[in-house]
């Protein structure tokens, strides 16, 4: 008997130690393109837009978080039957500010979870889809008393939906503008196996978009540079990245798996293709007929040949760490070299933030720069075009031998044999980065 009761007592003890913090319950989202609706919102909740709600976490809620945190999101079907992008954001709002807007320059945001809704018909079960995230790293945010002395911590839930197709395709949706319902709950407990050495937070990009900067259908170089400065060295500097390509037209970015690269101070840190897994486990949530799932199951090989994400699935949170990041200026480079944005359509939606450990980490300046480097490969010249003027380009061999240096946005590779070369590019404002180019 004792052998049976002991595991039950342990399980009961663990269950009691868990705390659930409900942030939103069945909150209704409306047409993302329409003017904000006037329907009442729950107490202590802001409607930032038809597609986004915010609620401030109370001190009692913040104090109840422990080092193990699971974030559960449920999206319910109303009158949008297409796949849409949504996410969870943590907003740092100046202390005591009772409300804010989407574009308030004093508010700093990080995206801590992203999801794609399935094709749902509200009249066919299942009518809800769950998304689960392990976000233990947020304990360092919620428990940071120094941060909380300066900012109130708000949670934002969003999903951008439109009802136009459902108005005619889904019974009961005629003339309606409600699109989805959302619920968000944190479940937290203490786990001795979880270690968290962060005490600082650095928001970098939140739902930032990369698109066809040069307005061309020719595949070029889609690059985002993020420049930031640290006043002190940060140890265990960890960068968290959420990214998805969008563009649902023919040959759109949603349907082409492209290689993504992430570099920090000219050292490559990540190299990946989004997606690449079977979407069959999420077929059950796609109750509205659609052109992605079709009427019959598909093989894993079929799915992995093209898919970047699955309607009905959570988007993975990618990360990398460096043991130490020195005080001073740094440049993070995110690039999708083969992005085509066919017919000038589509975008890559990118969010990045950093956590680290420092005695007193603060940020002097954060700036982002769009840069395009094209054509690549090239038979002769390479052009650099962006928001900042190109001051200088140096051409190097891959073993570090300098071949040329020129002022302005054009590098001449005509005289060099076919192969791979490194461009050292200096922009106005002293932003410097390197980039590989191919000579045909």
| Per-residue pLDDT, 377 | 82
Provide the residue-wise pLDDT of the chain in tens; the chain has 440 residues. 445 555 555 554 544 589 999 999 999 999 999 999 999 999 999 999 999 999 999 999 999 999 999 999 999 999 999 999 999 999 999 999 999 999 998 899 999 999 999 999 999 999 999 999 999 999 999 999 888 998 999 999 999 999 999 999 999 999 999 999 999 999 999 999 998 789 888 899 999 988 764 444 344 557 888 888 787 888 999 999 999 999 988 888 999 999 999 999 989 999 999 999 999 999 999 999 999 999 999 999 999 999 999 999 999 999 999 999 998 888 899 989 888 888 878 889 999 999 998 866 444 445 566 677 878 788 999 888 777 889 999 999 988 899 999 999 999 999 999 999 989 998 887 778 888 888 88
Q: What is the distance between the alpha carbons of residues 303 and 260, in angstroms, rounded to a whole number?
A: 19
Q: What is the distance between the alpha carbons of residues 142 and 189, in angstroms, rounded to a whole number?
A: 14
For the beta carbon of residue 274, count every other beta carbon within 10 angstroms.
Answer: 21
| Per-residue pLDDT, 337 | 83
Q: What is the distance between the alpha carbons of residues 73 and 133, in angstroms, rounded to a whole number?
A: 9
| Per-residue pLDDT, 215 | 42
Q: What is the distance between the alpha carbons of residues 182 and 270, in angstroms, rounded to a whole number?
A: 33
| Per-residue pLDDT, 15 | 47
Burial group, residue 434, by CB count within 10 angstroms (0-12, 13-18, 19+): middle
For 286-322, b where at least 16 C-beta lie within 10 A, e where not — what string? bbbeeebbeeeebeeeebeeebbbbbbbbbbbbbeeb
Q: What is the distance between the alpha carbons of residues 422 and 400, in angstroms, rounded to a whole number?
A: 8
| Per-residue pLDDT, 4 | 55
Going by C-alpha positions, the residue among 70, 139, 111, 85 that lies closest to residue 240 is 111
Distances in Å between the Cα of 156 and the Cα atoms of 48, 78, 286, 433 are 9, 20, 25, 34
Alpha helix positions (H), 238-307? 300-304
| Per-residue pLDDT, 373 | 80
| Per-residue pLDDT, 413 | 94
DSSP state of 255: G
Backbone angles phi, psi at 4, to 5 degrees: -80, -40
Going by C-alpha positions, the residue among 440, 436, 414 that lies closest to residue 423 is 436
- The H-or-E segment that residue 336 falls in is strand 328-336
């Amino acid at each position: 008997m004792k052998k049976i009761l002991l595991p039950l007592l342990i399980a009961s003890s663990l269950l009691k130690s868990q705390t659930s913090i409900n942030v939103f319950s069945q909150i209704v989202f409306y047409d993302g393109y329409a003017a904000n609706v006037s329907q009442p919102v729950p107490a202590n909740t802001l409607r930032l837009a038809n597609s986004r709600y915010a609620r401030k976490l109370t001190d009692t809620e913040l104090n109840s978080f422990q080092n193990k945190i699971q974030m559960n999101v449920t999206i319910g079907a109303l009158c949008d039957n297409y796949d849409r992008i949504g996410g969870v954001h943590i907003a740092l709002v100046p202390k005591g500010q009772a409300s804010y807007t989407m574009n308030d320059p004093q508010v700093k945001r990080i995206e801590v979870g992203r999801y794609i809704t399935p094709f749902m018909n509200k009249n066919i079960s299942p009518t809800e889809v769950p998304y689960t995230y392990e976000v233990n790293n947020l304990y360092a945010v919620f428990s940071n008393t120094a941060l909380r002395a300066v900012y109130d911590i708000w949670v934002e839930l969003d999903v951008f939906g439109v009802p136009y197709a459902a108005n005619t395709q889904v019974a009961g949706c005629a003339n309606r503008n409600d699109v989805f319902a959302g619920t968000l709950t944190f479940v937290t407990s203490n786990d001795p196996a979880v270690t968290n050495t962060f005490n600082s937070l650095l928001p970098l990009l939140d739902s930032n978009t990369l698109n066809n900067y040069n307005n061309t259908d020719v595949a070029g170089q889609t690059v985002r540079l993020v420049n930031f400065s640290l006043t002190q060295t940060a140890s265990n500097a960890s960068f968290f990245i959420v990214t998805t390509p969008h563009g649902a037209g023919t040959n759109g970015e949603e349907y082409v798996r492209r290689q993504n690269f992430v570099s920090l101070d000219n050292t490559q840190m990540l190299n990946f293709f989004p997606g690449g897994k079977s979407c069959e486990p999420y077929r059950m949530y796609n109750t509205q007929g659609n052109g992605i799932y079709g009427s019959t199951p598909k093989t894993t090989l079929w799915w992995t040949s093209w898919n970047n994400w699955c309607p009905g699935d959570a988007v993975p949170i990618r990360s990398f760490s460096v043991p130490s990041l020195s005080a001073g200026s740094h440049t993070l480079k995110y690039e999708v070299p083969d992005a085509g944005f066919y017919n000038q359509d589509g975008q890559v939606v990118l969010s990045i933030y950093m956590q680290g450990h420092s005695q007193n980490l603060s940020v002097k300046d954060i700036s982002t720069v769009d840069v395009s480097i094209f054509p690549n490969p090239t038979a002769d010249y390479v052009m650099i075009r962006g928001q900042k003027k190109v001051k200088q380009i140096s051409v190097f061999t891959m073993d570090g031998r300098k071949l040329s240096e020129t002022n302005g946005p054009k590098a001449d590779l005509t005289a060099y044999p076919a192969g791979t070369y490194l461009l050292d590019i200096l922009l106005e404002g002293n932003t410097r980065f390197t980039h590989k180019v191919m000579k045909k």
